[in-house]
Amino acid sequence: ITSDKHMIKIGEYLVNYKSDIEKQEQR
């Protein structure tokens, strides 16, 4: 069973990853 903390960590990572891609597309 994956812990909630682990899922939250992944969620934050995906949000940061997505925001980084959007920044690159703006260039």
Domain boundaries along the sequence of the chain: 1-27
Distance, CA of 14 to CA of 18 (rounded, Å): 6
Residue whose token pair is 């995906």: 14
Dump pLDDT digits (tens) for 12-27.
999 999 999 999 988 7
Half-sphere exposure of 18 (CA within 13 A, CB side): 6
The yes-or-no verdict on residue 1 having pLDDT over 70 is no
The yes-or-no verdict on residue 2 having pLDDT over 80 is no
Q: Could you write out the DSSP letters of every residue in 1-27?
A: ---HHHHHHHHHHHHHHHHHHHHHHH-
